[in-house]
Amino acid sequence: MVCRELVEVVTDYLEERLSDLDRARFERHLAECPYCVAYLDQMRQTIAATGRLVEEDLAPEARRDLVRLFRDWRGDRPGTARSRSPRVPGSPGSRWA
């Protein structure tokens, strides 16, 4: 598993929805990547600080803005090619470093 794959399945990992095989791949990657360990820790801290948020808790404007921001970040707005891969915060070349 590479960092990009880990970022894409971190929620499934935290919610224990990964298959045994994928969970093992995830944990093998963590054993070798301090950046993803830090990212996983940040995700856990965020969840602990904010609790659970369900779609109905968001105002329609906030939901629309979040969806737009996520699409912009991923580079998959309608009519655009996916231009960037997600980066793990703190990893080399990360805009969050």
Cβ-based neighbours of 40, under 8 Å, separated by 6 or more: 6, 10, 13, 14, 30
Q: Is the pLDDT confidence value at 9 over 80?
A: yes
The token duo for 72 is 């912009």
pLDDT of residue 46: 86
pLDDT of residue 83: 45
Query: Using 50, 70 and 90 to split pLDDT, how confident is the model at 79?
Result: low
pLDDT of residue 71: 84
pLDDT of residue 76: 63
Quick one: CA dihedral 97, 52, 68, 85, positive or negative?
positive
What distance in Å separates the CA atoms of residue 12 and residue 19, rounded to the nearest whole number?
Answer: 10
Alpha-helix residue ranges (DSSP H) falling in the chain: 3-14, 20-32, 34-50, 60-74
- Interval 17-66: pLDDT, tens: 999 999 999 999 999 999 999 999 999 998 888 877 677 777 889 888 88
pLDDT of residue 55: 72
pLDDT of residue 69: 85
